[in-house]
Structure 1
Amino acid sequence: MVRTVKDPETRRAEIIAAARRLFQIREYEKTTMQDVMDDLGIAKGTIYYYFKSKEELMDAVINQMGDEAVERMQKVVDEGHGNALERFQQLIAAGNIADENPEIMEQLHNPKNAGMHAAMIAVTAKRSAPLYAQIIRQGCEEGLFHVENPLETSEFILVSIQFLMDMGVYQWTEEDLMRRARALPGLIETLLHAEPGSFQFLFQQGN
């Protein structure tokens, strides 16, 4: 039999795809590196050449999920229609990672994976902030927002929301979470100097 030799990028992508699929089906904790090897029919030396541990492989899966979300969000910025408020909603929907990866996100909410989860939130906020800043600039041009520092404002909003509202970071009660969700639209409207009620859709989405 002729041994098939694949280029490094193709092989690495295959390993990440297999791990992502297994993490969804079997859960992260129950999946081993051997499971990934068996799924792909590759040797131990091959997988460990690319990933030194299951944690490193999970990190690659998370980065891939983030890449996909940012790509969708970039498309909204480049091709989306409507005013800034409408595009804000489109951007939020495009950046939703949890709906397509529920099992993986559930694993990240495990206290044992808190460091990995926090890193994902930080990286996602950093990468998506410039995209939100573009929409904020559009809103300023349309007279919907009045902000002097769009990028810094978007960074502040994203990091605050993602950390404060994430049940994997803070073990809020349902009442705690609802109280913050109700306050969120008004807080963003204050930061953006937007019309009262213009961000009420955020609370409606959370229900």
Structure 2
Amino acid sequence: MANKKEFILDVAEKMFIEQGFDQTSIAQILDATQIAKGTLYYYFTSKEEIMDAIIERWIDRSFEQVRIWVERKQLPILERLMGALASLNMQKDGQELLDHLHAPQNALLHEKTNQILLSKVPEILYPLFQEGFQAGEMQTAYPYESIEMMLTYSLQIFDSSFQKLDQAEKNHKIQAFIYLLEKIFQTKEGYFASLAQLIH
């Protein structure tokens, strides 16, 4: 039965991304999956609930990818950090997911998603930063809190509204973010510069 639920999510996610959340109906999802209406409603009571489940699944998968990057000890610390942060970039998974998450009526889901990210990601990333401290590449008296601050800032600044800025405004915010990271983690100038390519 779990496989059927995943199948519904797979098909619905593809449809939401390709034709838009508002333009996709339950009837279309039923037609695409070829499953009985009762079966779909056994798992989900609405289209919104399907999207919520897609986002929660994205979070779980992202956490797993972050862990994989952190554990690739044969790679340089910064490369692993970039890979880990890229795994948390919902932009690559489709604007529809982001739009749904940032819609006013989904404020609670948005808040819940951010709370999950802020409660879990620092813990996963901490060993990677610990390596950076031990290697002398970065330092701070408040390592865990610094990671939390990095994530909080990025979640607030690089949300869906960021994509509406012109290129000059985007560049300014990106450079400010990199500047703050280098101050917080007391790295050499330019240490985090390569993060810019993840955010554009």
Same fold (TM over 0.5): yes
1:15 Cα offset (Å): 1.4
TM-score by length of 2: 0.84
Q: Quick one: distance in 1 between partners of 2:23 and 2:110?
A: 18
Name which one, 1 or 2, has greater alpha-carbon Rg. 1
1:193 Cα offset (Å): 1.7
The alignment status of 1:15 with 2:8, answered yes or no, reads yes
1:153 Cα offset (Å): 1.8
- Report which of the two has the higher share of helix: 2
Name the structure 2 match of 1:203: 196
> RMSD between aligned alpha carbons?
2.6
1:103 Cα offset (Å): 4.2
The alignment status of 1:39 with 2:49, answered yes or no, reads no
The alignment status of 1:135 with 2:148, answered yes or no, reads no
Name the structure 2 match of 1:73: 66
Name the structure 1 match of 2:17: 24
Matched-pair identity in %? 25
Is contact 2:82–2:198 with CA below 8 Å preserved after alignment?
Answer: no
Q: 1:83 to 1:174 in 2, by over 3 A?
A: closer
Q: What number of residue pairs does the alignment pair up?
A: 200
Q: Quick one: distance in 1 between partners of 2:107 and 2:169?
A: 20
Structure 1 unaligned regions, length at least 5: 1-7
1:118 Cα offset (Å): 4.5
Q: Quick one: distance in 1 between partners of 2:93 and 2:163?
A: 23
The alignment status of 1:83 with 2:106, answered yes or no, reads no
1:72 Cα offset (Å): 1.5
Q: Quick one: distance in 2 between partners of 1:30 and 1:62?
A: 18
Q: 1:62 to 1:9 in 2, by over 3 A?
A: same
Alignment of 1:52-201 (within 5 A): 52-108=45-101, 113=106, 115-168=108-161, 174-201=167-194
Q: Quick one: distance in 1 between partners of 2:192 and 2:109?
A: 31
Q: Quick one: distance in 2 between partners of 1:159 and 1:205?
A: 17
Q: Quick one: distance in 2 between partners of 1:190 and 1:103?
A: 35
Q: 1:83 to 1:126 in 2, by over 3 A?
A: same
Which stretch shifts more, 138-147 or 80-89? 80-89
Q: Which amino acid aligns with 1:129?
A: P
Which stretch shifts more, 77-86 or 163-172? 163-172
1:174 Cα offset (Å): 4.9
1:91 Cα offset (Å): 1.8
Q: Which amino acid aligns with 1:60?
A: A
Is contact 1:69–1:94 with CA below 8 Å preserved after alignment?
Answer: yes
